[in-house]
Amino acid sequence: MSRSHLDPRDWERAQHYIERLFAPEDTALKRTLRQSQRSGLPPISVSRAGGKLLYLLAKTVSAQRILEVGTLGGYSAIWLARALPPGGRLVSLEMEPAHAAVAKKNLAKAGLAKKAEVLTGSALKLMQEMVRSRRPLFDLVFIDADKEEYPDYLRLACRLVRKGGLIVADNALRRPVSLEDAEISEVVRRNGVAECNRLAAAHPRLVSLIVPVLGKGVDGMLVCLKK
Ligand code: SAH
Ligand code: DHB
Ligand code: MG
């Protein structure tokens, strides 16, 4: 087998090529990462290509209402909110008040305070409330919070997204998921990401695929269209 495909330097070159050409970072995005780091947030925002994919997918469905699950410092929220037309709205859910505070500042500095709202609390509870309150459906739901709850987030997202809308989930190829089935340990079998991927693959109302994304190594976005 040719080793060239496995050489991490090739992946890095491809990553930088894609980032330079398709996902330039402006001052607002750079500042968001800098402020997140200074505030002690973990460096786990989506990659530049991941951000651009979110933006592209939101544009593809002409999203006017977007729900994000897991805000952190607001990096992916900026990519998503920028895809909205005037009057469009992003609602982003965040458990940690400290993260939400950093995100709100970053969104305001990016000129998106009017378009993006950060709700602090348990995403599961907030999404269940949304289902109960029968508010207007979303055009896109982006899932990126705690991985254990991914299967429930997918089920709830399916109820909160309109027909023809998209559900996207980050980290679909995190390392344990990509192991061969035979190697999957008890721990990994309980891995919510793998279960979410299987749910999406088998779901009668969803057309789904994992799109690999180059960032820090290779990860993937699960992309599901609601039929
Ligand atoms: N989407 C962000 C990264 C999110 S990291 C970006 O790409 O920029 C995951 C975030 O989910 C963290 O901020 C974490 O505090 C939050 N989170 C974890 N569990 C949660 C829960 N149960 N409800 C809401 N948010 C949660
Ligand atoms: C990690 C990366 C993520 O994108 C995420 O949402 C959670 C954790 C990580 O690299 O640990
Ligand atoms: Mg993530």
State which ligand 2 atom lies nearest to the alpha carbon of 219.
Answer: 4
Average pLDDT for residues 106-111, to the nearest whole number? 98
- Indicate the average pLDDT of the chain: 92
Ligand 2 mean position to 87 CA, how many Å? 31
Average pLDDT for residues 105-119, to the nearest whole number? 98
Lowest mean pLDDT among 67-71, 89-93, 131-135: 131-135
Q: What is the pLDDT of residue 3?
A: 53
Share of the chain above pLDDT 70, in %: 90
Ligand 1 mean position to 147 CA, how many Å? 9
Q: What is the pLDDT of residue 187?
A: 47
Mutation pick for ligand 1 pocket among 141, 146, 193 (CB with most ligand atoms within 8 Å)? 146
Q: Could you tell me the pLDDT band of residue 188, with boundaries at 50, 70 and 90?
A: very low
Residue 183 has pLDDT above 60, yes or no: no
CA nearest neighbour of 103 among 169, 168, 41, 167? 41
Q: What is the pLDDT of residue 184?
A: 47
Strand order in the sheet with 206-215: 116-120, 89-94, 65-69, 138-143, 161-169, 217-226, 206-215
CB 168 within 8 A of CB 143: yes
Residue 121 has pLDDT above 50, yes or no: yes
Summarize pLDDT for 3-44 with one digit per residue, the tens.
Answer: 555 688 888 999 999 999 999 999 999 999 999 999 999 999
Residue 58 has pLDDT above 80, yes or no: yes
DSSP E strand boundaries for the chain: 65-69, 89-94, 116-120, 138-143, 161-169, 206-215, 217-226
CA nearest neighbour of 166 among 82, 55, 23? 55
CA 117 → CA 69, 102, 189, distances in Å? 12, 13, 35
Distance CA 24, CA 149 (A): 32
In the three-class reduction of DSSP (H, G, I as helix; E, B as strand; rest coil), residue 225 is classed as strand
Residue 175 has pLDDT above 60, yes or no: yes
Q: Is the CB of 36 under 6 A from ligand 2?
A: no
